[in-house]
């Protein structure tokens, strides 16, 4: 972690001060005396690599699928850590990924690149609701976009919308709501009724299951709406479900996009 700092000619005391700061930020203090190839887990090695990249105060951080080789739980934890660190250090980050869940979790602004050409730039919601080309649309897969029949403002910042036979709590900024949407990657499936608040927790029946390794596409009917859900094979196999089973689905409020009406 000190290599880049020494190359910049920093004094020994400044190097140690910066390394200590990064060890604390990345929760790596207990590994300070170890070599990277000695007894570190995959997640710890990735945190060390990120800390080393941030050490010399870069103006831009470029990450090319940084968590692609990690298991799902470790990758999710590190994405949250990266988002926290990125905001703490106020550093512009270019994050390359083919994973739609990572796009929705990590991106403030998104550039969709197809065959070396930038097809569209915008927020996740702008790209989601209005893809500007067939290639952008195909990259998005089959997003869940629903027309809002009516909506009722609740407390500050949220509203309840009525769809076909179901209702959802969605973000609300005071403007009329025309459509709501959520990525197939951001819907969670459970065999049992999950604990916790009832917000956006629906019961449905599995209509179909289609495997295209390593992805499993699942269609679930809730009310009169059909949800398109994408899961990793290992996630799906752990659930031990099949078409015709009753399931619970959760649509987290933070992943729901809203299109304003006129």
What pLDDT, on the 0 to 100 scale, is given for residue 189?
96
Mean pLDDT per 10-residue run, the chain (262 residues)?
89 92 86 81 84 89 86 81 83 89 85 92 86 82 88 93 95 94 92 89 97 91 95 92 96 91 74
pTM over 0.85: no
Is the Cβ–Cβ distance between 257 and 180 less than 8 Å?
yes
Confidence at residue 17, expressed as pLDDT on a 0 to 100 scale:
92
Cα(29)–Cα(31) distance, integer angstroms = 5
State residue 251's pLDDT score: 96
What does the alpha-carbon distance between residue 92 and residue 114 come to, in Å, rounded to a whole number?
A: 23
* In the chain, where the domains are located: 3-96, 144-260
User: Considering the domain 3-96, what is its CATH architecture?
Assistant: 3-Layer(aba) Sandwich (3.40)
Q: How far apart are the C-alpha atoms of 168 and 162, rounded to whole Å?
A: 7
CA dihedral 179, 183, 186, 192 (to 10 degrees): 70
Q: What is the CATH number of domain 144-260?
A: 2.40.50.100
CA dihedral 24, 39, 83, 101 (to 10 degrees): -170
Tell me which H or E stretch contains 84. Answer: helix 72-89
Query: Hey, CA dihedral for 19, 23, 29, 34, is it positive or negative?
Result: negative
Greatest Cα pair distance, the chain, in angstroms, is 66
| Per-residue confidence (pLDDT) for residue 140, from 0 to 100 | 75
pLDDT at 69: 76
For 254, the 3-state DSSP assignment is helix
């Amino acid at each position: 972690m000190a290599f880049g700092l020494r190359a910049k000619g920093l004094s020994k005391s400044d190097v140690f001060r910066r390394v200590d700061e990064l060890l604390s930020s990345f929760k790596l203090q207990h590994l300070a005396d170890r070599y990277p190839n000695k007894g570190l887990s995959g997640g710890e090695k990735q945190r060390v690599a990120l800390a080393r990249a941030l050490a010399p105060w870069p103006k831009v951080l470029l990450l090319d699928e940084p968590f692609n080789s990690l298991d799902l739980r470790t990758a999710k934890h590190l994405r949250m850590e990266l988002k926290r660190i990125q905001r703490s250090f106020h550093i512009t980050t270019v994050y390359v990924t083919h994973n739609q869940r990572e796009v929705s979790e990590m991106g403030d602004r998104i550039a969709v690149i197809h065959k070396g050409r930038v097809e569209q730039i915008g927020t996740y919601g702008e790209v989601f609701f209005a893809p500007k080309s067939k290639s952008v649309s195909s990259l998005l897969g089959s997003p869940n976009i629903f027309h809002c029949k009516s909506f009722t403002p609740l407390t500050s910042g949220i509203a309840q919308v009525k769809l076909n036979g179901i209702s959802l709590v969605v973000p609300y900024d005071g403007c009329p709501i025309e459509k709501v949407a959520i990525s197939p990657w951001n819907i969670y499936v459970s065999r049992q009724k999950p604990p916790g608040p009832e917000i956006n927790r629906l019961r449905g029946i599995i209509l179909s299951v289609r495997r295209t390794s390593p992805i499993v596409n699942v269609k679930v009917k809730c009310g009169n709406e059909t949800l398109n859900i994408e899961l990793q094979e290992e996630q799906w196999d752990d659930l031990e479900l099949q078409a015709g089973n009753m399931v619970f689905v959760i649509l987290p409020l933070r992943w729901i996009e809203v299109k304003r009406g006129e």
